[in-house]
Structure 1
């Protein structure tokens, strides 16, 4: 225990920014910490300080502080997030750190990510202030002020002074990968909540299910936000935002952030840290179309008066008992049983039988002569002895292959080995010799290699709706290929990144509900991390929907992420098939 250690009284606090504040303790001790932590310490409150330093001002890394719950250092968890193949075993993993947002750069990253959240009502979601001219600048990313001064983040619109933030940091990353992959915002409960039912609006529905004092006194805003914060003391927390970087959707990071937030609320009493938390809840329209809250264990209880679903997670046995009683006794809750998400896309019809190649021979002939060439080029070729020649290249020689319905097959091999030729045969091109038996009544979708497919001008959700005639199913398909963001739903294909366009191409084909999906040079133009993510998502989707997939690629990370049932090496006229022998360990 250092000179300043022990139980001490809080004399005051100063909050300058979300990432910087100071707390004054008796004895002349000043603690530097984030403003989001400092704002919850009330003058007169007793805290326990631990430090090894004998000085009046302690920096971020020089002490530990505990009030009702540990407050400093900020909450943090080191994580390894393993992405499993659809058939079991590890496909790849991320090394991550989930921690409370602490530094200025954390909040700058949050502001940039906020623009991708569907519930952001403002076109510009952040306000910045110039440190030189004090001008307020609305912008979604850190701007440059006209005067040349540095802009600093003043406000993230939609958040409140009571909001606290959890960021997901990529601990090991490539130079072009983002540092912050996503964030979660945790707030106190909203003051009141009503339920919409077929019979009308039921007021104060939460207090019918759980004890009233679990939600009160909560943050109610007002001109004096510090006094409003000082009154907060609830047994519930509300997840107000979960935002993941658009390029990392479908990786399970949303569910991961929610799981860590539950630990944060349980271990630190977040956001205010004054009382044990009995439950965490969220109001999330996206939960109708994406089940990640339910995958974590949240239960759907009711819709708000405005029609948005509310899901709860009990942290204690007492909360679990209240929740289960409501699901058992309330007539509307009994009908849904706590479940909200219902798949709309479902499975395709599937191929009625296997694809078979037997003794297939395929060759291409090219006639080379000097016709049409300039005199100088003809003379140069004649000097090499080149006049005219028929070049015959045998691509397949007596090749046989069977692809069972609903399986994933990867065609691997060098450029020019015959992968594209094999895909053309599966499309219906005739072999020179042998038999290609394709199941009747099949629906085939094909993405050719090295050809830019026209994606149209309609916003991506509209484009899928026109094919599926079901908005819910269209959203589900976009979610399953990793485009689970309502902001992106409104984007046109030309406004998407390369990786997002690749996913949208897949979504368009899946909207055709094919039994057989053929892809040439899969993910050829994507960087390694993006190709891996897209491949894993596609493999899972095809297995769940019953789509037979045959994809040609030369990239080992794509093969590993797809985890195919059959790996077919194509080359020198032959096919060598390596079947999957079981889950990787």
Structure 2
């Protein structure tokens, strides 16, 4: 049994052990390996399963933006972190979460001398040369429990662990800040039984405060680090606190998803899994039946994944951080609803925290029309300026001087309706980019001939507001500013900027403060989308969409964009030949360009409706 579980058991407790195999006798002791038995403890007349740890597999199908077909599916295994390997994976994810050169997210201890060291990778003890053992993950307590999410079905280049959730006991005290700035103390106890939240972990804060502060100062002087001093002090007093703690509530303290997998429903899945875990095993103490789960999370203002999992917004703490709760029993549900229906401020928000500020755009007032549009390109092949040696080689192939002229688009007549999602396909050099340029040119104007048709006309509604991405031709310019600064400059509102960045799947403060040059290729693709969306266009045009992304990332980005434009009312036109991207976008129209011809190959799928 792992120490994170065993530490909650006390001498003299009544437990039930069921052996799957006969224990092995070693001397006068019987030994059973951790795979060969089940253990439950008796609490309030009920058996609570302790070992083996909780685990469950989930399938998370990701449908196309029209909710018609499954584009891809995650097969995820959730289980409590118990092994050293599990906690090493958590440390790696914490580094993604707190990505900065100065931030150290783990504390290690020498198994021989007990010396502590801060490091993001497993160090060796400088005195004994042995690998040190992980003692603490940043911000966690000895009472913390961790649920990790693993990809059961994954490609070789995909990470094994894609997320984790940390669960703690409730915070000892909670006040709420009212809209006028007034602080109302002990708000939970006014609406819920006091013993739901007490006694929580760390009761010495009340009874031995002066003694603890004195010991903390001693350790701070010895180690010269506040984090190390807290870690050592926590270990010294944790045993008594673990015995004392016995609440009917749990607190989700952290939800971390791998940065490449954000914005795809895995955060919601992680929260739903941890709800099951807490309810089934009474996490973290594994004692009293749990009535309620609380979470205090500033991110909930900008990302609704807790609300999507069923949490209700309650109030803001005294420091201004939102508190959300999830009922595990009918009694808890009744009390939450009572608060939301009777409290003056609860009635105002109705349990809803996240409200989109990006909203919808004004759709195109009528269709984009191509009317007998033709576009020619000509080029002259002249070898006279080449070295004589090269001229002779080319002449041997019959090449001297030639004028090449061809139609890229000829007599094209078609329309793109407001809110259409259009994919333009065709061979390289067939004219996909040319078609996009003609749409852009009809709204942006200018004298560049490559943006104008040679014959016919392209009609766009007067209310068209275009945002376009043509690689190496029309691209957002990020400069040296952070991503959040860039988006805020465009929209003029930091809150909306955070929402836009979250929409494209970059939902972490690490990305907010990162410069464009510091992002990975996939993250840069999403950052460009965020920059385009910040312009609040009703017509979005993208060439070579996801061209530089791997299959898995390309599908996620495409599916995400397909949903965003439909929800906002944006007309989308992209050029790509990637079948997995086309499937993820679920286009209402596919336009083939090739050999001078333009053909509409597909309309809206039968039975599908735009939202």
- TM-score in same-fold range (> 0.5): yes
What SS does the aligned partner of 2:524 have?
Answer: helix
Q: Does 1:524 align with 2:503?
A: no
Which structure has greater helix proportion?
A: 2
Q: Distance in 2 between matches of 1:216 and 1:256?
A: 29
Equivalent position of 1:196 in the other structure: 177
Q: Distance in 2 between matches of 1:390 and 1:121?
A: 58
Q: Does 1:76 align with 2:71?
A: no
Q: Does 1:247 align with 2:260?
A: yes
Equivalent position of 1:216 in the other structure: 198
Compare 366-375 and 51-60 and name the one that shifted more.
51-60
Whether the 8 Å CA contact 2:466–2:538 is kept in 1: the answer is yes
Q: Does 1:60 align with 2:73?
A: no
What SS does the aligned partner of 2:419 have?
Answer: coil
Compare 385-394 and 134-143 and name the one that shifted more.
134-143
Matches within 5 A, 1:492-507: 492-507=515-530
Compare 128-137 and 565-574 and name the one that shifted more.
128-137
Q: 1:63 to 1:583 in 2, by over 3 A?
A: farther
What SS does the aligned partner of 1:567 have?
Answer: strand
Output one character per residue of 1:531-552: Cα deviation in whole Å (capped at 9) or x when no partner.
Answer: 1111111111111111111000
Total equivalences in the alignment = 553
- Out of 304, 318, 322, the residue aligned to residue 309 of structure 1 is 322
**Deviation of residue 525 (structure 1)?**
0.7
Q: Does 1:298 align with 2:311?
A: yes
Q: Distance in 1 between matches of 2:95 and 2:9?
A: 31
Q: 1:315 to 1:583 in 2, by over 3 A?
A: farther
Equivalent position of 2:295 in the other structure: 282
Equivalent position of 2:367 in the other structure: 354
Q: Distance in 1 between matches of 2:562 and 2:188?
A: 41
Q: 1:421 to 1:236 in 2, by over 3 A?
A: same
Whether the 8 Å CA contact 2:478–2:486 is kept in 1: the answer is no
Output one character per residue of 1:465-502: Cα deviation in whole Å (capped at 9) or x when no partner.
Answer: 11111111001000000011012211111111111111
Q: Does 1:97 align with 2:120?
A: no
**Deviation of residue 442 (structure 1)?**
1.7
Task: State the superposition RMSD in angstroms.
Answer: 2.2
Output one character per residue of 1:278-323: Cα deviation in whole Å (capped at 9) or x when no partner.
Answer: 1111001111111111111111111111111100111111011111
Q: 1:384 to 1:117 in 2, by over 3 A?
A: closer
What SS does the aligned partner of 1:115 have?
Answer: helix
Equivalent position of 1:483 in the other structure: 506
Q: 1:71 to 1:133 in 2, by over 3 A?
A: closer
Q: Distance in 2 between matches of 1:513 and 1:199?
A: 34
Q: 1:78 to 1:513 in 2, by over 3 A?
A: same
**Deviation of residue 37 (structure 1)?**
1.0
Equivalent position of 2:12 in the other structure: 44
What SS does the aligned partner of 1:150 have?
Answer: coil
- Out of 414, 432, 439, the residue aligned to residue 427 of structure 2 is 414
What SS does the aligned partner of 1:274 have?
Answer: coil
Equivalent position of 2:44 in the other structure: none
**Deviation of residue 93 (structure 1)?**
0.7
Equivalent position of 1:372 in the other structure: 385
**Deviation of residue 570 (structure 1)?**
1.9
Equivalent position of 1:30 in the other structure: none
**Deviation of residue 199 (structure 1)?**
6.2
